[in-house]
């Protein structure tokens, strides 16, 4: 049991929620927790306040300061509204876009957000129903708004919901705005400070007109329309896994010219309960099981999925034996960036002023591809707000070709500033047609990349630690890795350590320490070995887990050697995991 001071603190916080400013349902729920003999739920619900992380506000739905509910959503919105009125005081009218996904309570939270903004004199464009996250980002830019909010918990389990705040450029909020918003939220000392009574005259419903503009812009990304004409009847299985992708992804594929899009009918049904999957995360094989079964039934060429808010992409290809295999996020980003760089070169569109972006935990093979094509590559922190920051820094001076991260996110455009499965899925289908023109399937194309630029294999491991005690354990684990870094990983000596908490890069062979050029510090550790192995360690900014990213290098001389290269790399990854104690 937690110590007496903590229990007293959470009890005092919880008793405030018994006041008349809170609705009856909330008061009843808080009273139940206060009266329970086991205070664990009370502590978990009140021991801290939800904070903005890499993905904004995210948490389990329920009563309490550490839960997603109308009051925590309300305080965040009131704080954001207050800050917008400071930051854009010179404008005659401030405007925002509000969107949401299919989750339970998402529409309710979105309408409350719209009411609070409007009550503060801010013009609101509210989507008529659920929409993909990237469309919200697009709409902010398209409508010339100063901010936006999307109610979503992305691919989290059904118990979660979240709140993503965006700035005028369509990107998720970073410093100094994130800190300033939190400061404004913290100034709200009671529920009475939140203006819940909306001004309906300031709320405008939007929908199809934004859909059409967004889809038109995505169609403009196509680089191989002739290949699609030749292979328009590729069998493409697509599932939105009960999410928002059902609104736009099939339509975008049709816009590109594909005529044989095969649905998974049970998963086309939008539902915050995600009834056909345990977790609606397309990077997990079980979430793709129904789509793969459909693919086997129809002998599909390609299987793709989006997560509930349709910003992440999942992809399944056929192996040499004809079996359907899920490719990882690193491979998805690598395939997309390789295509965009190679195809732009084929079309004579490269001027020497193009660039790509990846996150520091994403495969280093991408840098090899960029170097070979004389294209600048930027590394940034995990989270698409950092990719968007690189795009903002190069606005009007260099051409963005694409960017992505290992966690199944990709952005092929600069007219939106968050990862986008609508464009990524459309382009992956186009790549399949382009590859077919070259007498290659997806596997052969992937093998070709590895033979040209070097073989790599990656694995991500998430160690989950729930609640307050779990958070403390994650802190202790990071301290341990800093105090006692491994001397070798997988049989190869660690030669470089990058610690983004103090931006120190340490060369262990010379003892030299130099500063890294990054926009801010971050709680991330990286180890590099003599044989090219890279290990990255970071606590998640949105979930109760610590993440390990392992990448090992190998050699692939021929397609026939692919299985051997994979087996050797897997053995090395297992050795690295053992050295890390995970």
Which residues make beta-bridge pairs with 515? 504
Pairing state between β 261-263 and 302-306: unpaired
Active site residue 28: no
Kindly report the backbone phi and psi dihedral angles of residue 458, in degrees, each rounded to the nearest multiple of 5, phi listed first: -125, 155
CA distances from 44 to 2, 76, 179, 440, 460 (A): 11, 20, 24, 53, 28
Residue 226 in tokens: 């002739």
3-state secondary structure 116-158: HHHHCCCEEEEECCCCCHHHHHHHHHHHCCCEEEEECCCCCCC
Query: Which structure tokens are listed for 527?
Result: 């180890």
**Whether the bond into 176 is cis, omega within 30 of 0:** yes
Residue 233 Cα distances to 259, 292, 438, angstroms:
5, 19, 17
How many whole angstroms separate alpha carbon 272 and alpha carbon 309?
11
Report d(CA 311, CA 348) in Å as an integer. Answer: 30
3-class secondary-structure state, position 380: strand
How many C-beta atoms surround the C-beta of residue 129 within 10 A?
A: 15
- Do 249 and 420 touch, CB atoms closer than 8 A? no
Catalytic residue among 147, 154, 492, 536: 154
Q: Are 161 and 153 in contact, with CB atoms under 8 Å apart?
A: yes
CB 261 within 8 A of CB 254: yes
Token pair for 477: 């684990």
- Alpha helices by DSSP H, listed for 201-264, are 208-219, 225-230, 249-256
Provide the Cα torsion 313, 401, 372, 404; round to 10°: -30
3-state secondary structure 185-199: HHCCCCHHHCCCCCC
- Is-contact 567 533, C-beta < 8 A? no
Strand (E) or helix (H) holding 76: helix 70-87
Cβ atoms of 46 and 8 within 8 Å: the answer is no
Q: How far apart are CA 362 and CA 549, in angstroms?
A: 8
Residue numbers annotated as active site: 154
């Amino acid at each position: 049991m937690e110590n007496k001071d903590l229990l007293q603190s959470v009890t005092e916080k919880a008793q405030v929620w018994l006041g008349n400013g809170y609705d009856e349902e909330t008061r009843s729920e808080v009273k139940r927790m206060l009266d329970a003999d086991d205070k664990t739920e009370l502590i978990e619900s009140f021991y801290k306040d939800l904070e903005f992380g890499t993905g904004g506000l995210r948490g389990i739905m329920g009563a309490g300061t550490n839960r997603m509910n109308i009051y925590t959503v309300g305080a965040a919105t009131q704080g954001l509204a207050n800050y917008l009125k400071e930051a854009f005081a010179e404008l005659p009218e401030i405007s925002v876009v509000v969107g949401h996904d299919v989750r339970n309570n998402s529409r309710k939270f979105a309408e409350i957000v719209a009411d609070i903004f409007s009550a503060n004199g801010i013009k609101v464009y509210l989507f008529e129903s659920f929409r993909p996250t990237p469309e919200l980002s697009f709409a902010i830019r398209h409508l010339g708004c100063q901010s936006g909010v999307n109610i979503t918990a992305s691919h989290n389990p059904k118990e979660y919901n979240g709140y993503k705040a965006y700035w005028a450029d369509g990107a998720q909020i970073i410093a100094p705005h994130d800190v300033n918003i939190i400061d404004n939220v913290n100034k709200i000392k009671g529920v009475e400070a939140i203006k819940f009574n909306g001004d309906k005259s300031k709320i405008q419903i939007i929908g199809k007109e934004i859909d059409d503009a967004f889809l038109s812009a995505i169609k403009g990304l196509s680089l191989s329309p002739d290949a699609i004409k030749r292979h328009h009847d590729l069998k493409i299985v697509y599932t939105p896994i009960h999410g928002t992708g059902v609104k736009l992804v099939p339509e975008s594929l049709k816009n590109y010219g594909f005529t044989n899009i095969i649905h998974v009918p049970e998963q086309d049904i939008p539902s915050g309960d995600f009834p056909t999957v345990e977790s609606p995360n397309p990077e997990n094989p079980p979430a793709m099981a129904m789509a793969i079964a459909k693919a086997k039934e129809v002998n599909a060429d390609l299987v793709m999925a989006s997560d509930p808010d349709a910003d992440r992409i999942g992809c399944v290809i056929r192996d040499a034996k004809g079996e359907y295999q899920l490719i990882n996020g690193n491979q998805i980003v690598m395939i997309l960036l390789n295509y965009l760089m190679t195809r732009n070169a084929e079309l004579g569109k490269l001027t020497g002023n193009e660039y790509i972006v990846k996150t520091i935990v994403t495969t280093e093979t991408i840098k090899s591809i960029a170097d070979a094509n004389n294209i600048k590559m930027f590394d940034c922190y995990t989270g698409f707000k950092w990719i968007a920051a690189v795009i903002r820094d190069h606005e009007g001076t260099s051409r963005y070709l694409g960017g992505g991260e290992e966690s199944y996110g990709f952005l092929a455009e600069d007219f939106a500033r968050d990862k986008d499965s609508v464009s990524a899925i459309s382009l992956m289908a186009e790549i399949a047609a382009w590859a077919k023109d070259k007498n290659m399937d997806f596997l052969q194309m992937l093998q070709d990349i590895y033979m040209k630029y070097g073989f790599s294999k990656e694995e991500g491991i998430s160690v989950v630690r729930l609640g307050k005690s779990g958070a403390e354990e994650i802190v202790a684990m990071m301290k341990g890795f800093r105090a006692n870094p491994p001397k070798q990983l997988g049989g190869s000596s660690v030669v470089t350590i990058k610690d983004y908490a103090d931006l120190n890069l340490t060369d262990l062979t010379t003892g030299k320490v130099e500063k890294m050029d990054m926009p801010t510090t971050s709680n991330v550790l990286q180890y590099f070995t003599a044989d090219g192995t890279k290990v990255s360690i970071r606590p998640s900014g949105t979930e109760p887990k610590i993440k390990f990213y392992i990448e090992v290098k190998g050699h692939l001389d021929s397609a026939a050697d692919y299985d051997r290269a994979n087996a050797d790399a897997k053995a090395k990854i297992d050795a690295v995991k053992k050295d890390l104690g995970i």
